[in-house]
Chains A and B, each alone.
Chain A
Amino acid sequence: NAGVTQTPKFRVLKTGQSMTLLCAQDMNHEYMYWYRQDPGMGLRLIHYSVGEGTTAKGEVPDGYNVSRLKKQNFLLGLESAAPSQTSVYFCASSSGDGTQYFGPGTRLLVL
């Protein structure tokens, strides 16, 4: 039981490049979330999903897209990376009681 895994762990992009972050969970959770964490700003919700095939915007969705084609996977895409998207990205999943379980994070540097 791996819990929540994230791929990749670290990535460097140039401005304008695109990439996809993959989150996978093996706990059969309905809810999944993508956050970004920046110094002094805590955790900010980017997008979330309440079930397979659904997505919704969070607090800071601009510049990101997501897809939840399979229940266990939640993908976060950056179509045209900007330096402001340099951050640590966390994925989380949750069962019905709201407790969220986090992945180890992806560190993204956009030059």
Chain B
Amino acid sequence: AQSVTQPDIHITVSEGASLELRCNYSYGATPYLFWYVQSPGQGLQLLLKYFSGDTLVQGIKGFEAEFKRSQSSFNLRKPSVHWSDAAEYFCAVIAGNNRKLIWGLGTSLAVNP
């Protein structure tokens, strides 16, 4: 069965520091992968997605993610975190033709000033 694991429930970084959020998936075929962000009290917003092609994907707000098939990973990165990046981050993989997403449980990011 398809699954998505986000190993880190909570991460705290200092403003200006680099960030990497981990995502591992289990899926037999070539996956469609997504990262979403949820600010407190808000809905989810798409950060970036990978369908095919270049394995390094650029997204909004200065985020990027790298697809590594050999490691079944799709880690999210940002070189310099801003206080406004404090939010919940969700990784997801598409499963099947009905376009359902399989979601990770999320990583909560706190940013210290």
Contacts and interface: CB of A to CB of B under 8 A. Distances in A.
Interface of A: 4, 31, 33, 40-43, 45, 48, 50, 56, 58, 90, 92, 94, 96-105
Nearest to B94: A98
Contacts of A50: 98-99
A43 B98 contact: no
Contact of B105 (A33, A42, A45, A90): A42
Given A4-B43, A56-B98, A94-B99, 9 more contacts: A42-B103, A42-B106, A43-B90, A43-B103, A90-B43, A100-B46, A101-B46, A102-B45, A103-B43
A96 B51 CA distance: 13
Contacts, number: 50
B84 to A, nearest CB: 18
Interface string B60-98: 000000000000000000000000000000100010001
In terms of DSSP, what is the predominant structure of the interface of chain B? Answer: strand
A33 B44 CA distance: 13
Contacts of A4: 43
Contacts of A58: 100
Contacts of B30: none
Interface in B9-50: 32, 34, 36, 42-46, 49
Contacts of B100: 33, 45, 48, 58
B105 A40 contact: yes
Contact of A104 (B42, B103, B104, B106): B42
A104 B98 contact: no
A23 to B, nearest CB: 11
A62 to B, nearest CB: 18
B105 to A, nearest CB: 4
B1 to A, nearest CB: 12
B44 A90 contact: yes
Contacts of B46: 99-101
A51 B101 CA distance: 17
